[in-house]
Structures are given as C-alpha cells and as structure tokens.
A and B are shown apart, each in its own frame.
Chain A
Amino acid sequence: MTASKMLQGFKTAAFSSNTRQKLLAFASLLGLLIFFSMASPSFMQTDNMVGILQATAVNGVLAIACTFVIITSGIDLSVGTLMTFCAVMAGVVLTYWGLPFYLGVAAAIFFGAFSGFISGVLIAKLKIPPFIATLGMMLMLKGLSLVITHSKPIYFNDTPEFPLIAQESLIGYFLPELPIPNAVLILFVLAVVSSLILNKTVLGTYTFALGSNEEAVRLSGVNVDRWKIIVYTLSGAICGIAGLLIASRLNSAQPSLGQGYELDAIAAVVIGGTSLSGGAGTILGTIIGAFIMSVLTNGLRIMSVAQEWQTVVTGLIIIAAVYADILRKRK
C-alpha cells in the first residue's frame, strides 16, 4: 500500500461518522472529568477514581452484552435479572452444593448462555418481537431467582476465592501504585475481545448485516435464525460474567437485585452512539457511555447533589446525547 493510499484510508477512518460519534462521546467524558475535578478536590483522588472504575465494571459488561443485540436491531431487557440469576446459580453450585470454585464460575456463564439461547429461539424461531420476548424472560428470571433462594441472599462464605474475582487487583500486585480491581481488568479484556469479535469475525459481520438489512442477508442464503440465536446466546454468556462480578463484589448473590440494570446498560449503549435501529455501533463507544454514566453519578454525589437530582440529570444526559447524534446525522 502506498503512502498516499494509507493517508486516504486514514482520512476516511478519521472522518467516518462512527469515529466522530466516538470523539464526541470521548470529549463529553473528558469535559465531565475536568468539570468535576475543578468542582471538588476529592474527585481526582486515586480512591475515588478506583471507585468509579469499580462502579463501571458491572454496567459496562452488561452494556457490552446489549451492544451485540442492539446492533442486530434487537433489544434485551433481561440482562439485569439474568445477571442476578447467574449469580444465584453460582451460589447454588458453590454454597448449596459445595462444589469446587471453577464449577461455580462455569455455572454462571453456562446459565447465562442458556438463557440467551432461549431468548434467541423465542425471537428467531417463534418470531416474538425482541422487546416482548426479553420482557418475559426478564420477569421469569427474576421470579426464578426468588424461588430458588426463597428470597434470601446466598453468601459465598465457603468459597474464599470468590470475592477475589472482582475485588482483588492483579495489576496492583505488579504495580502497587495502580490498584485497579480485577473487575475493571475483566471489563477491559472483555471489551477488547468483543471488539475483535465484532470487527474481525464472521459473527461480527453478520451482527452488523442483520441490523442493516435482515431480509437481504436471508436472501443471500445465510441461515439468519441461527446467527441471531448465536448473538443472543453470546449476550447471555456475557451477562453471566456480569453476574460473577456483582456477586463477587457483594460476596453474595442478592436475588432481589437486577431489575433496572438493563435500562442503565441500554443507556450506556445509546450514549456511546450505537443506533437503536441497528446496523451501527462500537464497543469503545459503549465503554465510554458506561463511564459517562458512572462519572456523572459519582461526581454529582461528591458535589453533594441529592440522589433524586442525580437521576434527573442522568435522564437529561441520555436525551441530550441522542439528540446530539440526531443533529449530527441531519447534516
């Protein structure tokens, strides 16, 4: 490739709409960081930063799960309660049955994938609209978690390894001045892997193609149903990882938790520039979106803004982010 061609390629990439959206989101995140660090001296302290990272991990992982589904022009409302259900299943395997640690981890991911598979079958084979299918799954999973646990938390007291998943810092072990918790490490590794899947694999290509024009994909002789089911299964498995993270941080599976997380995740995806009508989106955007949300919550709390008003501001930000996207596309 000649230098001029490379330059041309770089220009195309730099000015493509996706890149601009990411720049916009990134600039907003930077703006928020600068604003809060000026507003409150305690904001920029390491403890607080680590707190923000820690708080982003669970929502970030769920938002990655949602990104896949939303790019296919679907939606998944069950990610929050599925996360809890996976935590509960890990608790069943480890605490109720006393099986080894790795089986608990495997159980969380397996049940996540299995539930995603069921959502996928409902949507692809039974043609139930994704909103309805996953709304039903959301309620079923919430109910099942409560039934299995008799509405009581499961504690991981017999599994000393469990809290380490999210709370220990592998990075801090090597670099003591950077005590970034494992939950954040897992989020970043997952983000990189997901980004690779979306951009470098057949699954990613079909994910975008399904959202862009499902009928054209079907008429190209692609087994559309199968790929849709695979996307929902993958999304479910990622929710299993989120379940492990939250259970590890709380050192327990809290069966009543979970509802509401799906909306935070969808909000992060949308702020990150992924279109709800499908066909476009990036993992990097989603991660930035998730950080914008947690920086906002954290910063407003540090500025002693009441919890109630924090919620109002978050709502405003979501609407503003999407409107900015619409303005940009209109040009």
Chain B
Amino acid sequence: MTALVSINKLCKSFPGVRALHNARLEVVAGEVHALMGENGAGKSTLMKILAGVYQKDAGEISIDGHEVEIASPRAAQALGIGIIHQELNLMSHLSVAQNIFIGREPRGRLGLFIDTEKMARDTQAIFDRLNLNLEPHTLVCDLTVARQQMVEIAKALSMDSRVLIMDEPTAALNNSEIDDLFRIIGQLKRQGVAIVYISHKMDELKRISDRVTVMRDGQYIGTVPTATTSMDTIISMMVGRALLEDERPPEADGTQEIMLEVRGLNRGRTIKDVSFTLRKGEILGFAGLMGAGRTEVARAVFGADKRDSGEIWVRGRKVRVHCPADAVANGIGYLSEDRKHFGLATGMDVQTNVVLASLQRFLSFGFFLKPAAIQGAAAKLIAQLGIRTPSALQKVALLSGGNQQKIVIAKWLVRDCEILFFDEPTRGIDVGAKSEIYKLLNALAAQGRAIVMISSELPEVLRLSHRIVVMCEGRITGELAARDATQEKIMQLATRREASPASGPIGAAAVAAIA
C-alpha cells in the first residue's frame, strides 16, 4: 500500500535556528497519525510546510507516490491537504456558511450575486456527512469554541481534503466536546481521510491514534504503533537526551530569606489556587506544557492582569499589586515571552529601552533627561551583558533576538529589581546566545536576586533551576528538588490532568501507564 503522504529528508532553517533537519513522516489513508515531541521539536514547522504556509529548504514531499511542490496554502488545498490551526481562523461576524465558502462563494446566473441558497445547501450536505447538528446561517460568534472547530473541520472537508492536519485541537475543549470531536475523527477515518494529529495529551493519543511519529530537535526519531507501545517508551523517545550531572545547579539554600510568597492565586479558568515561595538567590523553574497557566501566573503576580483572589507577600510583608507600576515599586520585574509586543519599544533606540523602566533616576528637576547619565548606564550594560549593537542609538528592531532579550534584561537590571520573572527567556534565540543567557541567570542568582524562570524546554529547566514547580491546566501539580528532578518526572506531572468522570477509564489507564 503506497502512503498517501510521504515526507523525506525535509530541512528548514530560520535565521539563527535550524527548525527541521532530515524530518520524515509517512501517513496512509484512513489512519490517525499522532505527531509528538516537546515544544520546539519542529512539529508545527513540519505541518506548516505540508500546508504550504512555509517553504522547505530541502527534501521531498510525495502525495500518492508523486513528488509535489507545495508553494502556497492554496496549492496545498488543491492537493487535498487541509489544516486546522491551533488558533481558529474564522470571521466571527459572518455566518457558518459564509465562513466555509469564503473566497469560493458559488455565484448565481449572472456571476454577480452570491447564490446563498446553494451555499447553504452545500454547507448542510457537509454537516450531514459529519452528523453535525449545525445551522448554516448561524453567526460564528454565537457558537462555542468546540462548534467553531467543527466549522473549521467542515471548511477543510468542503475543499475535498484527503489529509487533515489538527494542531492541538482539544486545547480549548471540555471532555464531552472532546468525545464529540473524536466521534467525528472516527467517521472521517472510515471515509478514508488521513488525519495528522498533534497533541501533548498522552491519554488522547491512546484513545484515537493508530501510529505515533516522534520528533526531537527538528529530527525524526521513530514511528511506532500506538496500541503496542507503552507511554514510557514514547516519553523517553521524546525527551531523549541525557543530562550531564555536573550541569545541575547546586542544591537550594533553604535558609535564605523568603523574597516572594504567593498565596491562593486564582484567575478564572486559567489559574487555580496557585501558591509558592521564592527565596533569595534561588532560581525557581516553572515547567509545564503550553497553556498550563505559567505565563498567566507571572502576569497576575506582576499586576499585568487582574486576579480574582490571592495574596502577594514581598520580604514577609503583604503588598498591594494592582498594576505593573505597583509590582515594580515592590521590586518585581517581568520579562515577557513576547519581547516584541510586551518587552520593547522596538521603534526606539537601545539606550532609551534600557532606561525605560527607571527613567525617574535619569532626570534633573524631575523633568529633563540627563543624556550623559543615560549614555553611561547604557554603555555599562551593553558591555556587561555583551550586547552586540553598532551603537547605543541603534533602533532595537534591527538587532537579533538574543540581543533584544539582553536589552530587556538590561532594562530590569537598571531598575534594580530584586525579584525577576523570566518568561521563556531563550525563545527564538540561537544556541550561542542561549548559553550566554544561562550564565547571566546564574550570575544574577549568585548576586542574591530571586528568579522565577518559566520555560517549556525541559533541559533548560533542569539545567538552571534549584527547585522546579510543575503546572498543568492552571494548577500546580507538583514540586521537585533539583536533585530529584528528571524529564520523565516533570512530564508526568505536566500531563496530570484533573480527574474527571468523562475522561473515562482509558484516560485513567494512560495516567497509570505514565506513573
């Protein structure tokens, strides 16, 4: 039986990052093929190349045994490849039928007007095929997220897709909605559609997938049948690398002063009863999968988002933090995972960004800038952190990701914050700059600053953290000391979902298999 899709030796690089190196994937008609790997393993890049969003650098893609070039999303559609992105791409003020046929609306006799009747009929036909109880004229904004996802699936099928890529489709669904989705996936399978399914949730894979392909660091690791492979095997394929013992940080000094204590933090569905402490000179790692609520915790503590409840204590004193200005006044700094949107004024120069959080210190008469002092501070930090820039007056937008990250760090160093939240400090940064950032974090901790480091890369968490807190679905599911922590243990805690009746015996069995 020839494979429906066959990908071989696929390579793709982005500036400073090698995203894929000899990636492989083979999917046959009528199977659900799970694609697994840690964050940053290259799953999404691979799928975006298959869907025509990115162009490959090298390698080959074959459909039905014929080699093809996929130059655009439209070309992918013509080949029968549909993708449902993690972020839904629907126009919420248009109807379901309008969304499904956007750009290919059936025309009436004169070719001037849209044949709304036909559009509704065709939409209904797809819904019937999926056994979906949806009305073509409903506005998308009136649907739940789960139903919007069904609309995306219907849209992909309306283009006669034979391959359907689903990127974390259950991330926003509750258990009964997941059951619905799986029922539809089952139907598609019987109709001969091949499904590539990306998910981090182990129990789901056991329920629906036929085979699993594991990727790591942009490379193909292996393909195994789901039914006969244990979860432990798959997890060890995913994490792979063994860490050298001497890379581990020393044991945390439990006698140091407690700098920050968070008690009973809650925010909607994203943060559930989170409490933790942070000591002077300590790096506290926050591990978990994407969407586990780690960034949300940092933003809530920093006052960037409102919280429903929870107390924040700094050096044994309860403090009021209602906005970022309050947090900064209490010595708390936050380095966002999204530097361009939340960390830097990229249209402005390096030195302005460096002093942005502490401008009050560089003023005479409280109003006029002291250019010499600003230049001095910027020059000092450019040298100290090794920021590579032609001058302190260079626009930040023109610098590399690693250097931009150092500028954000410089900003908080100038502000002299005692407590620093680093959210994905090495995201989008090349390997060389990464190790510089690691050294910097270690040096800051050695100087007595208290650091929370959020990272989705397990080796990074293990290498830097004195203590590790693991989150899953808004809750803290466990805490590990550096000496006890392993990638496997963290993974188990990170996938420990709240027990609920609907997840069923299979889910429970999967958790048992992990444990």
Contacting pair A216 B343 (CB below 8 A): yes
Mark out the residues of chain B between 350 and 384 whose CB falls within 8 Å of any chain A CB in the assembled complex. Answer: 352, 356-357, 359-360, 363, 366-369, 371
Which of A179-187, A220-228, A282-290 makes up part of the contact surface? Answer: A220-228
Q: In the complex, how many angstroms separate the beta carbon of A237 from the nearest chain B beta carbon?
A: 16
Which of chain A's residues has its CB closest to B417's CB? A221
- Does B347 touch A at the CB level, under 8 Å? yes
Contacting pair A217 B356 (CB below 8 A): yes
Which of A87-95, A200-208, A304-312 makes up part of the contact surface? Answer: A200-208
Question: In the assembled complex, which residues on chain B have CB atoms less than 8 Å from the CB atom of A209?
Answer: 345, 348, 352, 356
Contacting pair B363 A220 (CB below 8 A): no
Question: In the assembled complex, which residues on chain A have CB atoms less than 8 Å from the CB atom of B343?
Answer: 216, 219
- Does A120 touch B at the CB level, under 8 Å? no
Question: In the assembled complex, which residues on chain A have CB atoms less than 8 Å from the CB atom of B369?
Answer: 200-202, 204-205
- Does A60 touch B at the CB level, under 8 Å? no
Question: In the assembled complex, which residues on chain A have CB atoms less than 8 Å from the CB atom of B334?
Answer: 219
- Does A240 touch B at the CB level, under 8 Å? no
- Does A130 touch B at the CB level, under 8 Å? no
- Does B134 touch A at the CB level, under 8 Å? no
Rounded to whole angstroms, the CA-CA distance of A216 and B415 in the bound complex is: 15
Contacting pair B344 A219 (CB below 8 A): no
* Residue from B346, B357, B360, B415 in contact with A213 in the complex, judged by beta carbons closer than 8 Å: B346
- Does A280 touch B at the CB level, under 8 Å? yes
Question: In the assembled complex, which residues on chain A have CB atoms less than 8 Å from the CB atom of B345?
Answer: 208-209, 212-213, 216-217, 279
Question: In the assembled complex, which residues on chain B have CB atoms less than 8 Å from the CB atom of A8?
Answer: 391
Contact A213 B344, CB 8 Å, known A12-B391, A202-B369: yes
The 0/1 profile, CB within 8 Å of B marked 1, for residues 171-213 of chain A is: 0000000000000000000000000000011111110110011
Q: In the complex, how many angstroms separate the beta carbon of B301 from the nearest chain A beta carbon?
A: 13
Contacting pair B348 A208 (CB below 8 A): yes
Which of chain A's residues has its CB closest to B326's CB? A221
Which of chain A's residues has its CB closest to B332's CB? A221
* Residue from B336, B346, B391 in contact with A212 in the complex, judged by beta carbons closer than 8 Å: B346
- Does A158 touch B at the CB level, under 8 Å? no
Question: In the assembled complex, which residues on chain A have CB atoms less than 8 Å from the CB atom of B393?
Answer: 9, 12
Q: In the complex, how many angstroms separate the beta carbon of A288 from the nearest chain B beta carbon?
A: 22
Rounded to whole angstroms, the CA-CA distance of A213 and B334 in the bound complex is: 16
Rounded to whole angstroms, the CA-CA distance of A308 and B359 in the bound complex is: 50
* Residue from A202, A216, A222, A279 in contact with B342 in the complex, judged by beta carbons closer than 8 Å: A216
Contacting pair A221 B368 (CB below 8 A): no
The 0/1 profile, CB within 8 Å of A marked 1, for residues 372-412 of chain B is: 00000000000000000001010000000000000000010
Contacting pair A220 B356 (CB below 8 A): yes
Question: In the assembled complex, which residues on chain A have CB atoms less than 8 Å from the CB atom of B336?
Answer: 219
Question: In the assembled complex, which residues on chain B have CB atoms less than 8 Å from the CB atom of A219?
Answer: 302, 304, 324, 334, 336, 342-343
Rounded to whole angstroms, the CA-CA distance of A222 and B325 in the bound complex is: 6
Contacting pair B357 A220 (CB below 8 A): yes
- Does B66 touch A at the CB level, under 8 Å? no
- Does A152 touch B at the CB level, under 8 Å? no
- Does A47 touch B at the CB level, under 8 Å? no
* Residue from A217, A221, A223 in contact with B327 in the complex, judged by beta carbons closer than 8 Å: A221
Question: In the assembled complex, which residues on chain B have CB atoms less than 8 Å from the CB atom of A204?
Answer: 369
Contacting pair B341 A213 (CB below 8 A): yes
- Does A215 touch B at the CB level, under 8 Å? yes
- Does A301 touch B at the CB level, under 8 Å? no
- Does A218 touch B at the CB level, under 8 Å? yes
* Residue from A201, A205, A221 in contact with B329 in the complex, judged by beta carbons closer than 8 Å: A221
Q: In the complex, how many angstroms separate the beta carbon of B381 from the nearest chain A beta carbon?
A: 15
Contacting pair A200 B368 (CB below 8 A): yes
Rounded to whole angstroms, the CA-CA distance of A247 and B333 in the bound complex is: 51
- Does B328 touch A at the CB level, under 8 Å? yes
Rounded to whole angstroms, the CA-CA distance of A213 and B396 in the bound complex is: 12
Question: In the assembled complex, which residues on chain A have CB atoms less than 8 Å from the CB atom of B348?
Answer: 208-209, 212, 279
Contacting pair A205 B352 (CB below 8 A): yes
Question: In the assembled complex, which residues on chain B have CB atoms less than 8 Å from the CB atom of A12?
Answer: 391, 393
Which of chain A's residues has its CB closest to B334's CB? A219
Q: In the complex, how many angstroms separate the beta carbon of B463 from the nearest chain A beta carbon?
A: 27
Contact A216 B325, CB 8 Å, known A200-B369, A209-B348: no
Most buried by B among A9, A213, A221: A221
Question: In the assembled complex, which residues on chain B have CB atoms less than 8 Å from the CB atom of A218?
Answer: 304, 323-324
Q: In the complex, how many angstroms separate the beta carbon of B193 from the nearest chain A beta carbon?
A: 42
* Residue from B329, B333, B357, B363 in contact with A202 in the complex, judged by beta carbons closer than 8 Å: B363
Question: In the assembled complex, which residues on chain A have CB atoms less than 8 Å from the CB atom of B347?
Answer: 208, 212-213, 279-280
Rounded to whole angstroms, the CA-CA distance of A222 and B304 in the bound complex is: 12
Question: In the assembled complex, which residues on chain B have CB atoms less than 8 Å from the CB atom of A213?
Answer: 341, 344-347
Mark out the residues of chain A between 227 and 285 whose CB falls within 8 Å of any chain B CB in the assembled complex. Answer: 279-280
Contact A222 B356, CB 8 Å, known A208-B348, A213-B344, A217-B345: yes
Rounded to whole angstroms, the CA-CA distance of A212 and B353 in the bound complex is: 11
Rounded to whole angstroms, the CA-CA distance of A221 and B419 in the bound complex is: 14
Which of chain B's residues has its CB closest to A214's CB? B345
Rounded to whole angstroms, the CA-CA distance of A223 and B334 in the bound complex is: 16
Question: In the assembled complex, which residues on chain B have CB atoms less than 8 Å from the CB atom of A280?
Answer: 347
Most buried by B among A200, A201, A208: A201
Question: In the assembled complex, which residues on chain A have CB atoms less than 8 Å from the CB atom of B368?
Answer: 200-202
Most buried by B among A9, A202, A223: A202
Contact A215 B341, CB 8 Å, known A202-B367, A280-B347: yes
Q: In the complex, how many angstroms separate the beta carbon of B319 from the nearest chain A beta carbon?
A: 14
Rounded to whole angstroms, the CA-CA distance of A222 and B352 in the bound complex is: 14
Question: In the assembled complex, which residues on chain A have CB atoms less than 8 Å from the CB atom of B342?
Answer: 215-216, 219
Q: In the complex, how many angstroms separate the beta carbon of A239 from the nearest chain B beta carbon?
A: 22
Rounded to whole angstroms, the CA-CA distance of A216 and B352 in the bound complex is: 13
Rounded to whole angstroms, the CA-CA distance of A215 and B327 in the bound complex is: 15
Which of chain B's residues has its CB closest to A197's CB? B367
Which of chain A's residues has its CB closest to B327's CB? A221
Q: In the complex, how many angstroms separate the beta carbon of B254 from the nearest chain A beta carbon?
A: 31
Most buried by B among A8, A203, A215: A215
Rounded to whole angstroms, the CA-CA distance of A295 and B220 in the bound complex is: 68
Which of chain B's residues has its CB closest to A208's CB? B348
* Residue from A200, A205, A221, A279 in contact with B415 in the complex, judged by beta carbons closer than 8 Å: A221
The 0/1 profile, CB within 8 Å of A marked 1, for residues 43-69 of chain B is: 000000000000000000000000000
Which of chain A's residues has its CB closest to B330's CB? A221
Most buried by A among B323, B342, B347, B359: B347
Rounded to whole angstroms, the CA-CA distance of A309 and B342 in the bound complex is: 48
Question: In the assembled complex, which residues on chain B have CB atoms less than 8 Å from the CB atom of A202?
Answer: 359-360, 363, 366-369
Q: In the complex, how many angstroms separate the beta carbon of B186 from the nearest chain A beta carbon?
A: 43
Rounded to whole angstroms, the CA-CA distance of A221 and B323 in the bound complex is: 8
Rounded to whole angstroms, the CA-CA distance of A60 and B223 in the bound complex is: 70
Most buried by B among A205, A219, A280: A219
Rounded to whole angstroms, the CA-CA distance of A215 and B336 in the bound complex is: 11
Rounded to whole angstroms, the CA-CA distance of A87 and B411 in the bound complex is: 45
Rounded to whole angstroms, the CA-CA distance of A270 and B342 in the bound complex is: 28
Question: In the assembled complex, which residues on chain A have CB atoms less than 8 Å from the CB atom of B333?
Answer: 221
19 contacts between A and B (CB under 8 A): A9-B391, A9-B393, A12-B391, A12-B393, A201-B368, A202-B363, A202-B367, A208-B347, A208-B348, A209-B352, A212-B346, A212-B348, A213-B347, A216-B341, A216-B345, A220-B411, A221-B329, A279-B345, A279-B348
With contacts A209-B345, A219-B334 known, what are 14 further pairs, Cβ within 8 A? A200-B368, A202-B363, A202-B366, A205-B352, A205-B369, A206-B359, A209-B356, A212-B345, A213-B345, A213-B347, A219-B336, A219-B342, A221-B328, A223-B323
A-B pairs, 5 with minimum CB distance: A221-B328, A212-B345, A220-B357, A212-B347, A213-B345
